Amino acid sequence: MSSAIVMKHIHFSYREKSMFNDVSVSFPQGEFTSLIGPNGSGKTTLIRHLIRQLTPTKGSLYLGNKEISSFNQKELARSLSYVPQYSPIEYDFTVYESVAMGRYAHQGRFSVLDSRDHSIIQDSLRMMNLDNLSHRNIIELSGGEYQRMLISRAIAQQSRIMVLDEPVSHLDIHHQKEILQLLRNLVDEKQVTVITTLHDLNAVSAFSDHVVMLLDGAIVAQGEVEHVLTKEKLEQVYNVEVDIEVFGHKPLILPRWNENQFS
Amino acid sequence: MKKGVRLGVILPVLLIVLALLFAYSLVVGAAGIEISKTLQILFTGRVYHATPAFSAAQHTIIWNLRLPRTLMALLVGSVLAVGGMVYQALFRNPMADPYVLGISSGAAFGVALGAYVGFLSGATGMWEVPAAAFGGSLLASLLIILLSGGTRRSQTTLLLTGIALNFFLSALMTLLMYLNRSQLQAIMQWTMGSFSSGSWDKVAILAVVSLITIGPLVLYTKELDILLLNEDAALSLGVSVKKVRLILLLLSTFGISVTVAFSGVIGFVGLMVPHIFRLITGPKHKNLLLLSLVGGPIITLASDIIAKTAVSPSELPVGVITALAGTPLFFILLVQYRRNR
Amino acid sequence: MKQRNPFRIIISLLLLTMLVIPLVAKGAPEQIVEASDYLSVIDWRGELITLDKEPQRIVSLSPNVTETLFALGLGDKIVGRTDYCDYPSEVFDIVSVGDLMTPSIEKIISLEPDVVIISNIGQKETVEALDRAHIKIAYFDEDQDMEGTYSLIEKVGQLTGTKQVAEQLISSMRDIVSEVQHSNVGKNRPTAYYVTGFGEWGDFTATGDTYLHDIITLAGADNIASSGSGWSFQLESLIASDPDVIIMAPMWGSSMDESIEEFKNHSFYSSLSAVKNNTIFGLEENILERQGPRSAQAVKELSDAITALGM
């Protein structure tokens, strides 16, 4: 199994505080990887390293077999796309125009969108079930629709890797399932490498191929779902008692909310 | 639902209005030259040959006063409106105006300082005042960019530094002007904006400056759109945010500084014109650029026409008219826009 | 029909008469207490300002008032003046209380003036501030013409008890002006333009609403900017009118020669006949700019200068 991204011996400090101390992690190509850990564990910092918003003080990060610092901005965008946390903007572009921005990395200074670009944009919209909304103003979108649009834009970038930061935290379970399923489809049908932070451990269990677990800036575990989402590791990292039920190969995590639950 | 007026409808209308205003500006003026004579003079060409049809004075009025003045109003309008559009994208704030980084207060300060040290006098040539104004703008803008940590810092820091420097410079300028009443009057009058000093030399310079500052923008409309997203998103889409922002900032600041140097501080245009069009036709900069390019001059030309006809043979400062006329217009549009939402 | 009670009618008529009489009486010429014209004057605000005796300590807050006081022989009574008071030269021995816009109220009070006099070049805020400090202040805002100048001199004279001196001064000024008018009779009136601002600063001149306009007219020239207002005049009107004579005002930061050179070399003005024929000049001192005792002299000097050009 080859790696889409490999981080080797990463050190990173922020304002005199050491956040990563010799961290190494790899993200398998063509798989759905979830990044989990309590708040403040370094998930967002790790994501920011992946999208080159931050540079490690020591160590190296490879996209494929190229060092990330050797990419120029557009090259990077062609290899890796990013879906930020829910951050709506106040400008009323249409859904189509917004998704079309994803084609920027493939355009030269003088080029305009050609028919190929348009068909890619339309495919991306279709994949996210947005075809009938393509002329809607993005300001009028619901939370779920907006998130789908962001992912659609990332798809239009045609990058092998898609990194997402909390894509479903603000959505109800229907829309959570909808979006995670669409991401899953991307992995299964298009072999996109999806790397995402997620809070809901059961969603992680249901959709991920690979899990990376963080605590205080260190990788506590990385690997297959059932090897990472164990009672022992979860209790260590989250400091909450849990029960695990396994259905097929997938664990179901049941936190003990109070003493008398389930007894 | 795609709201808003289509570009294909509104642009031709604007172009016609602009052409009409341009023609009207040439035909109207305190000297009271009949339209037929004006047309004759224009067809005769720039070089004057003695003829009984019109006098040398009339010829010079049309060719050397009205035409340059009108052209200057046109170019200044374009640069201001487009500059405002760029600033609003750079700051991700539709209320950003082109003077927010100290260009206007820097210019006024440059002129006041020039008067104070004797570089400028009441009987100064054509270039000293613009030079002092431009120098002041440049200094102020550079200072703000440096003080706020350059483009590394957020737009908020940039904006706040700009506001602080504006206040400081205005206070300093008032101090300077306390020293001489006649200087004070001259400087205040200059600050209020006027196209009356328009000459062919200045038009030539402005034309080149417009080309340099607006021309490249045609190639940057995609980036301008993407810059409206937050910085992470823009970078992830492949935009070299810092580089692009710096280029756009420098180009637009340079262009606006030159307009202020030649015509004083003309408000409303840079802030409201792009804003109004954004409300009408949406935020895509491919459209906004064209609309601002044409819409800005409409405002400046209309204001200049009012400036020279309202109290003829005296005239009013253009900057005051743009502010007075423009603000209620904006509020009307805002109300309509809110109602349509 | 009800019987009209005659008694009631009489009472009503009496009441009516009682109402009417005061109304009628109001219309009757009142015995107006006339303001005396010695040590007493009504200023522009309508305030009656009266002094008990001839003022020994006067503060002047306007350059033309200062000149007037000196002309009335009261120079030694002035204890305070502004930075802009510069004539006659004796004025520099007098302490200054600041500029025209915001003189120091404290300083004025510390000088313990019997009266403060300010003309329209001053500020209303100053007047109010001094009123509140219970300092006697006379605010004269006269018309922007020669008659207004005479009125100013007369009122200052009236207030300071030097009315006769004032009248003599006014009379001699009138003589000078008449003499100029007489000497110009039969001569052709050249058109003139007065430059107070040009070039980058914009074109400004003595429009019809200024007293300079009156001086130019009295001196025997026709001001091309008479239809303008607020000192502003469009450049193309200047070009179109092409005046016979151009008068340059003193410009800050430049000598008169430098100013005239700049004007002549400026591309906007080089086509004017007055530039080509060199009928452009300036009066060195600022007597034209000040509505005061030297204004009649200004008329004469202007007229002489125009005549000297062969106009």
User: pLDDT tens digit string along C56-104?
Assistant: 999 999 999 999 999 999 999 999 999 888 889 999 999 999 887 778 8
Give the whole-number percent of chain C exceeding pLDDT 70: 89
The letter for the amino acid at A230 is: T
Nearest to B88 by CA among B267, B288, B281, B321: B288
Q: Do B225 and A77 touch (CB under 8 A)?
A: no
Nearest CA in chain C to B63: C236
Are the C-beta atoms of residues B32 and B5 closer than 8 Å to each other?
A: no
Domain range annotation of chain A: 3-255
- Which one of B306, B314, B321 makes the best mutation probe of the C interface by having the most chain C beta carbons within 10 Å? B314
The predicted model gives B201-230 an average pLDDT of 94
Question: Domain containing B323: what range?
Answer: 7-340
- B173 vs B91, which has greater pLDDT? B91
**C137-140 and A32-36 as β-strands: parallel, antiparallel, unpaired?**
unpaired
* Residues 6+ away with beta carbon under 8 Å from A151: A83, A128, A162, A164, A167, A179, A182, A183
b/e sequence A11-36, b meaning 16+ C-beta within 10 Å: ebeeeeeebbeebebbbbbbbbbbbb
Beta bridge partners of A28: A3
Give the whole-number percent of chain B exceeding pLDDT 70: 94
Q: Does B253 fall in a domain?
A: yes
| Residue found under tokens 């530039």 | C275
CB atoms < 10 A from the CB of A82, how many?
27
Q: Do C265 and B125 touch (CB under 8 A)?
A: yes
**A32-36 and A210-215 as β-strands: parallel, antiparallel, unpaired?**
parallel
**Rounded distance, CA B248 to CA B252, Å?**
6
Distance from CA of C280 to the nearest CA of B (A): 15
CA dihedral B152, B155, B158, B160 (to 10 degrees): -140
Flag whether pLDDT at C256 surpasses 70: yes
Tell me the backbone φ, ψ of residue C145, rounded to 5 degrees.
-155, 180
Beta bridge partners of B96: none
Question: From 3.60.20.10, 3.40.50.300, 3.20.20.70, 3.30.230.10, which CATH number describes the A3-255 domain?
Answer: 3.40.50.300
A48 band by pLDDT with thresholds 50, 70 and 90: very high
Alpha helices, H only, A54-107? 73-79, 95-100
Torsion sign over Cα B35, B37, B43, B47: negative
Q: Do A77 and B283 touch (CB under 8 A)?
A: no
Q: B65 to chain C: which residues are within 8 Å by CB?
A: 235-236, 239, 268
Can you identify the CATH homologous superfamily of domain C40-172?
Nitrogenase molybdenum iron protein domain (3.40.50.1980)
Can you give the length of chain B in residues?
341
The predicted model gives C45-56 an average pLDDT of 88
Check CB contact of C304 with chain B, cutoff 8 Å: no
Distance spanning both ends of chain B, measured CA to CA: 11
**Rounded distance, CA A208 to CA A31, Å?**
8
B337 band by pLDDT with thresholds 50, 70 and 90: low
The predicted model gives A82-100 an average pLDDT of 89
The predicted model gives C202-211 an average pLDDT of 92
Q: Which chains touch A (3 or more CB pairs under 8 A)?
A: B
Flag whether pLDDT at C272 surpasses 70: yes
Flag whether pLDDT at C1 surpasses 50: no
Question: From 3.40.50.2300, 3.10.129.10, 2.40.160.60, 3.40.50.1980, which CATH number describes the C187-308 domain?
Answer: 3.40.50.1980
**Rounded distance, CA A176 to CA A165, Å?**
14
Q: Which two tokens stand for residue A125?
A: 């919209």
Are the C-beta atoms of residues B260 and B133 closer than 8 Å to each other?
A: yes
Query: 3-class SS at C60?
Result: strand
Separation in Å, CA B86 to CA A74, A189, B245, B264, B329: 22, 41, 9, 20, 22
CA diameter of chain A: 68
Q: Do B232 and A51 touch (CB under 8 A)?
A: yes
Q: What is the pTM of this model?
A: 0.86
C237 band by pLDDT with thresholds 50, 70 and 90: very high
Domains in chain B, number? 1
Q: Does B255 fall in a domain?
A: yes
Q: Does B1 fall in a domain?
A: no
Domain range annotation of chain C: 40-172, 187-308
Q: Which two tokens stand for residue C129?
A: 């501030």
Q: C226 to chain B: which residues are within 8 Å by CB?
A: none
**A3-14 and A58-63 as β-strands: parallel, antiparallel, unpaired?**
antiparallel
- Given this model, what pLDDT does residue B100 score? 83
- Given this model, what pLDDT does residue A209 score? 95
Q: C99 to chain B: which residues are within 8 Å by CB?
A: 178, 181
The predicted model gives B277-294 an average pLDDT of 92
| Residue found under tokens 């008694």 | C7
Q: Do A77 and B238 touch (CB under 8 A)?
A: yes
Whether the bond into B313 is cis, omega within 30 of 0: yes
The predicted model gives B109-131 an average pLDDT of 89
Among the partner-chain residues B118, B190, B314, the one whose CB lies closest to the CB of C229 is B314
Q: Please classify residue C6 by burial: count the beta carbons closer than 10 Å to its beta carbon, then call 0-12 exposed, 13-18 middle and 19+ buried.
A: exposed
- B290 vs B118, which has greater pLDDT? B290
Q: Do B283 and A109 touch (CB under 8 A)?
A: no
Among the partner-chain residues B3, B228, B240, the one whose CB lies closest to the CB of A73 is B240
C32 band by pLDDT with thresholds 50, 70 and 90: very low
User: pLDDT tens digit string along C4-29?
Assistant: 567 677 776 776 666 666 555 554 44
- Given this model, what pLDDT does residue C122 score? 67
- Average pLDDT score, chain B: 88
User: pLDDT tens digit string along A12-24?
Assistant: 988 888 889 899 9
Q: Any idea which of A173-187, B40-54, C162-176 has the lowest mean pLDDT?
A: B40-54
User: pLDDT tens digit string along A106-163?
Assistant: 998 888 899 999 999 999 999 999 999 999 999 999 888 999 999 999 999 999 999 9
Q: B232 to chain A: which residues are within 8 Å by CB?
A: 51, 53, 82, 84
Fold equal for C40-172 and C187-308: yes
Q: Which two tokens stand for residue A107?
A: 């355009």
Q: C234 to chain B: which residues are within 8 Å by CB?
A: 29-31, 196, 308, 312-315
Cα three-residue angle A150-A178-A207, rounded to 5 degrees: 100
B178 band by pLDDT with thresholds 50, 70 and 90: low
Flag whether pLDDT at C30 surpasses 50: no
Are the C-beta atoms of residues C80 and C96 closer than 8 Å to each other?
A: yes
b/e sequence B290-313, b meaning 16+ C-beta within 10 Å: bbbbbbbbbbbbbbbbbbbbebbb
Cα three-residue angle B312-B314-B319, rounded to 5 degrees: 100
- Average pLDDT score, chain C: 87
| Residue found under tokens 């500006």 | B25
Among the partner-chain residues B1, B225, B240, the one whose CB lies closest to the CB of A101 is B225
Nearest CA in chain B to A77: B238
